[in-house]
Amino acid sequence: MPTSTQNKASEPSNAMLLLITRLHFYIGFFIGPFIFIAALTGTLYVLSPQLEDAIYKEALTTQSVGESKTLAEQITAARSHLSSDLTLFAVRPAPEQGDTTRVMFLDPTANLTGARALFIDPVTLDLKGNLPVYGTSGVLPLRTTIDFLHRQLLLGEVGRYYSELAASWLWISALGGLFLWYKGGKKNQLEFASKTVHLRKRRRHYQLGLCIFIGLIFVSVTGLTWSKWAGGNIGALRENIGWVTPSVSLDLAASNVVVTSDEHADHIHHRDAEPNVDTPDIRTNPDLLFDGVLTAARKAGIDANKLEIKPAKGEGKAWFVREIDRTWPTQVDSVAVDAATMTVTSRADFANFSLVAKFIRWGIDAHMGILFGVINQVILTVFGLSLCLMIIWGYKMWWIRRPSAGSTSKPLLQAWAKLSAIQKILTLLVTLFLGVSLPVMGVSLLTFLLIDIWRWKRQ
């Protein structure tokens, strides 16, 4: 028989188990629907690249064969199809034979994105498409809609709270579930052979959770980097401890010319010579500078097929050329080019990034399903659907064992009140830290506690 001293010693341990059990239930019950929507829309986004390629094939590809016209000629062709004078902000040359060139303009009439791309056949200069585009990936209307649905439910800035709420609690729910499974011990083994509906659902729930545990932590942490409040805090923390991603300086006054050698220079072919920047045409028509800037960037080692060229944003500013191939191996080098001299004034090479900066880049791209191509898509699809299924099983577990009329369950605060003094202090400190670092989590936790206080007083 256990002594009274042993029973008292076990009370804090049991109280902690009950506390985490109740918190895990609250997260699943109240936050589960938001996590479900985020998982489902995220899965749709991961599956969308092939759909987009099929739907917009006419705009993305061409059957023309021959020598490509200059970028200046392609830009002129694109401008001829504009109904109003729009600001050109970037050009993405055709990556390969059979692809089109994207000439992108700022367009306030483009829903959600604020940008529009005219797809030009680089050989014939025909217009192949005119579509809104968004982000570094240059996603088209289908993926853009799914992206905004995933991020903010198409509700604007206020909708971002939903995705931040889901990402803030997902990792807590995963850790809590792991703790509950660990504390289950032999009880889990007994449930494994049980044929009771409730225990069978519970067994499937935690088994699936164990299988996707690493993914739960990964998508939660990487998802928080996109969030409004927590993401801002994460960005400030990264800056304070030096975990920043290197970038080029576009300020010509503060830049020094960088002379580099390129081991692939012999394999780079480009038909355009550097233009004479002193000619009147160049000074009055900056579009003519694109070919020279591209040539300078190629000579400096920007050798990816997928790249983007952005003109200078004003006097004393450099042009920006960056690689945008985020698949493996990652090609995201970038350079700043002084269009007056066609020299590289600043550069940021992925090979020189710190290991932390590289992992951040890879983590974000893996979250988007683009780092490892189809393999990445398959893994995220299985993960997303598994998470949705796990949430459904969680609700089924609750429905089967839901409290009957007049019955009650132990409140969260009642379990916390039974913790030891040290445990209370630690839980308060952790709660305050997370509440400040992840404000949406803090506000939602306060809501949990208000509901819990109401339940406790009612009982």
* Shared-domain flag, residues 116 and 259: no
**Is residue 88 domain-resident?**
yes
Are 272 and 406 part of one and the same domain?
Answer: no
If you average pLDDT over every residue of the chain, what do you get?
A: 88
CA distance 416 to 380: 37
Report if residue 357 sits inside a domain.
no
d(C-alpha 414, C-alpha 15), whole Å: 9
Together in a domain, 132 and 188: no
What pLDDT sits at residue 360?
A: 94
Q: Number of folded domains in the chain?
A: 3
> At residue 8, does pLDDT exceed 80?
no
Give 147-179 pLDDT, tens digit per residue: 999 999 999 999 999 999 999 999 999 999 999
Within a domain: 340: yes
In a domain, 55, yes or no: no
* Residue 367 maps to a domain: no
Q: Are residues 343 and 256 in the same domain?
A: yes
| High-pLDDT (> 90) share of the chain, % | 74
Query: pLDDT digits over 87-108, tens only?
Result: 999 999 999 999 999 999 999 9
pLDDT of residue 106: 95
Q: Same domain, yes or no, for 88 and 128?
A: yes
pLDDT for residue 270 is more than 50: no
Beta bridge partners of 415: none
| Same structural domain, 332 and 386 | no
Query: What's the Rg (C-alpha) of the chain?
Result: 28
Q: By the 8 A CB rule, do 292 and 286 touch? A: no
- pLDDT band at residue 260 under the 50/70/90 scheme: very low
Domain presence at residue 18:
yes
Residue 282 domain flag: yes
Q: Which residue among 290, 318, 352 closes a domain?
A: 352
Q: What is the pLDDT of residue 281?
A: 60
**How far apart are alpha carbons 432 and 449 in whole angstroms?**
14
Which of the listed residues 139, 169, 190 is the one where a domain comes to its end? 139
State whether residue 56 is helix, strand or coil. Answer: coil
Kindly indicate the confidence band of residue 352, based on its pLDDT and cuts at 50, 70 and 90. Answer: very high
- DSSP codes, 371-396: TTTHHHHHHHHHHHHHHHHHHHHHHH
Q: What is the pTM of this model?
A: 0.88
Q: Are residues 341 and 386 in the same domain?
A: no
Residue 361 lies in a domain: no
Residues contacting residue 447 through CB under 8 Å, at least 6 positions apart: none
End of a domain among 352, 386, 403? 352
Mark whether 81 and 125 lie in a shared domain: yes
- Other Cβ atoms closer than 10 A to 58: 11
Q: Which residues have C-beta within 8 Å of that of residue 38, sequence separation ≥ 6?
A: 150, 162, 163, 166, 167, 223
Same domain for 340 and 267? Answer: yes
| In the predicted structure, residue 215 carries a pLDDT above the cut 50 | yes
Is 50 exceeded by the pLDDT of residue 213?
A: yes
**What is the token pair recorded at 245?**
């991603």
Query: Across 239-248, 300-309, 406-415, 445-454, which has the greatest mean pLDDT?
Result: 300-309
**Do 173 and 297 sit in the same domain of this protein?**
no
Instruction: Write the pLDDT tens digit of every residue in 289-317.
Output: 999 999 999 999 999 999 999 999 999 99
- In terms of residue numbers, what domain contains 278? 252-352
At 121-149, the pLDDT tens digits run: 999 999 999 999 998 888 999 999 999 99
Residue 47 — pLDDT band, cuts 50, 70, 90? very high
Statement to judge: residues 203 and 284 lie in one domain? no
Decide if 224 contacts 230 (C-beta within 8 A): yes
Return d(Cα 452, Cα 312) in angstroms, integer.
Answer: 57
Give backbone dihedrals phi and psi of 301, rounded to 5 degrees, phi first: 105, 5
Q: How far apart are the C-alpha atoms of 432 and 19, rounded to whole Å?
A: 17
Say yes or no: 344 and 280 in one domain.
Answer: yes
DSSP-assigned beta bridge partners for residue 87: 106
Confidence check: pLDDT of 10 > 70: no
CB atoms within 10 A of CB 358: 16
